[in-house]
A and B are shown apart, each in its own frame.
Chain A
Amino acid sequence: MSPRQRQIGAIFGLTGPAYLWLAVTIFLPLSAMLYCSVLDTSPLVPQPAHFTLANYAAYFQKSFYWPLTKWSLQLGLWTTLFCFLIGYPAAYALAKKIKGRWREALFLLIVLPFWSNALVRIFSWTMVLRPNGLIDSALHWIFPQAPHLDILFSYPAVVIGLVHSYLPYMILTCYISLQAIDDSLMEAARSLGAAGWTVFRRVILPLSLPGVVSGSVLIFVPVIGSFMEPRILGGPRAVTLGMNIEEQFTVTSNWPLGAALSFTMLGIVLVFFLALYPVLKKRGAWA
């Protein structure tokens, strides 16, 4: 066997299992769901099904889908934005200002919440945010006459919960990017006459952009599909596209419609990535 053939064999052997797994769990299921989305009756029903685009048409025709989508998109954007605003400075502080043992310890502390149960964390926010909850009680302890806090079961509550859940992702990716920037680069910039803000704007920010982008992807994608957090923190009035899709599969058993809506959501995510593509291409955000 020539070295080249052996190499190809090794590549197949090493990557094969992973791809096979993904084929069975992601690619084939997506194809199956695509097929399901163009049927007119649910697979659960024994009737034969026919091809139809009605499910996709429904998205554009029924008036309530657009507000749902808007809500989900806004949720994704706000959450990502706040995670960036809060997380980037934290990552910068950790990467550049803290040294030694402390850095390791703080890093662990930031990562640790990943290990607590996401649902319990969300539910704990209800305990914190509700009237007579933690914040409310503390507020009244200081200002006994203040009105009751009524944040729970509202849009901000959902955003707070989501930001809290996904913040570590942003801190993590930004931290990895930032700590890879050699101090000598900043020193060089200063020696060439750049003041603090210019150094940040022209050296640090561009070099840490891959971290910001990866963090944004890790946050935006799950958030726009979320239904659990809006339901728990948003109360009965909260509706997102994700929640609607989930209902099609659990409550109404209208799988074709759910499938079509899922794919529409996927399309939205793809548009998001296409918008980001120039940045991704330039910076090679992948490893």
Chain B
Amino acid sequence: MSQVEVIGAQKRYGALAALDNVSLNFVEGEFFGLLGPSGSGKTTLLRSIAGFIELDSGQVLLDGEDIGPIPVHKRDIGMVFQNYALFPHMTVFDNVAFGLSVRKMPRPEIKQRVDEILSLVRLAGLQERKPRQLSGGQQQRVALARALVTRPKVLLLDEPLGALDKHLREEMQV
């Protein structure tokens, strides 16, 4: 994991300031949770770090380097989306393997890593299922596995537990 710094981030939508001179320092290896009421700019900040939003002013530094000009697919991040965003036409295996196959990893190595992480999230045996055949909790674990298997420098989780019921939430928090 790496160090992420946000310096003086500013983002306006018309008259509304989603981010108003926000500066944060995420120390390496730290697990950081952004809490706040809806509309407080959490998702905006997350998406700025991911690269989907261009800031009006301010910088995002990864390990001291300004990643503003770097496109999303070249930033080494992992992201779990609020609606999981699983590829509906791919199996669980292909979903998780996607990031690795895009990096042109050899097939045997891909298989090993995917099997490994699916066991970790307790989804071994469901490799050939399609997303629509999974429960909400299972889909969430696939999304997590997919983001983690590429061993990204930064892991972003956008409202990761919002869609689950209370019991599942407590289980995932563990």
* A, B co-complexed: yes
A contact residues vs B (CB 8 Å cutoff): 1-4, 6
Nearest A residue (CB) for B70: A3
Interface of A, secondary structure class, is helix
A4 to B54, CA, bound (A): 8
Interface of B, secondary structure class, is loop
Q: Which residues of A contact B71 (CB under 8 A)?
A: 3, 6
Nearest B residue (CB) for A7: B54
A3 to B52, CA, bound (A): 9
Question: Distance in Å from the Cβ of B58 to the closest Cβ of chain A?
Answer: 15
Which residues between 65 and 114 of chain B lie within 8 Å of chain A, taking CB atoms? 69, 71
Q: Which residues of A contact B51 (CB under 8 A)?
A: 3
List the 7 closest pairs (A to B, CB-CB), nearest first. Answer: A3-B54, A2-B69, A3-B71, A4-B54, A6-B71, A3-B51, A3-B69
Question: Distance in Å from the Cβ of A47 to the closest Cβ of chain B?
Answer: 61
Question: Distance in Å from the Cβ of B113 to the closest Cβ of chain A?
Answer: 30
Which residues between 31 and 56 of chain B lie within 8 Å of chain A, taking CB atoms? 51, 54
A2 to B69, CA, bound (A): 6
9 inter-chain pairs at a CB distance below 8 angstroms, sorted by A residue, are: A1-B69, A2-B54, A2-B69, A3-B51, A3-B54, A3-B69, A3-B71, A4-B54, A6-B71
Nearest B residue (CB) for A1: B69
Q: Which residues of B contact A1 (CB under 8 A)?
A: 69
A6 to B71, CA, bound (A): 9
A1 to B69, CA, bound (A): 7
A6 to B54, CA, bound (A): 13
A2 to B51, CA, bound (A): 12
A1 to B71, CA, bound (A): 9
Question: Distance in Å from the Cβ of A4 to the closest Cβ of chain B?
Answer: 7
Question: Distance in Å from the Cβ of A25 to the closest Cβ of chain B?
Answer: 35
Question: Distance in Å from the Cβ of A10 to the closest Cβ of chain B?
Answer: 11
Q: Which residues of A contact B69 (CB under 8 A)?
A: 1-3
Question: Distance in Å from the Cβ of A252 to the closest Cβ of chain B?
Answer: 58
Nearest A residue (CB) for B53: A3
Q: Which residues of B contact A6 (CB under 8 A)?
A: 71
Question: Distance in Å from the Cβ of B66 to the closest Cβ of chain A?
Answer: 13
Question: Distance in Å from the Cβ of A152 to the closest Cβ of chain B?
Answer: 53
Q: Which residues of B contact A2 (CB under 8 A)?
A: 54, 69
Question: Distance in Å from the Cβ of A7 to the closest Cβ of chain B?
Answer: 9
Question: Distance in Å from the Cβ of A2 to the closest Cβ of chain B?
Answer: 6
A149 to B54, CA, bound (A): 72
A226 to B63, CA, bound (A): 68
A6 to B74, CA, bound (A): 14
Nearest B residue (CB) for A2: B69
Nearest B residue (CB) for A3: B54
Question: Distance in Å from the Cβ of B134 to the closest Cβ of chain A?
Answer: 26
Question: Distance in Å from the Cβ of A11 to the closest Cβ of chain B?
Answer: 16
Residue in A2, A3, A4 whose Cβ sees the most chain B Cβ within 10 Å: A3
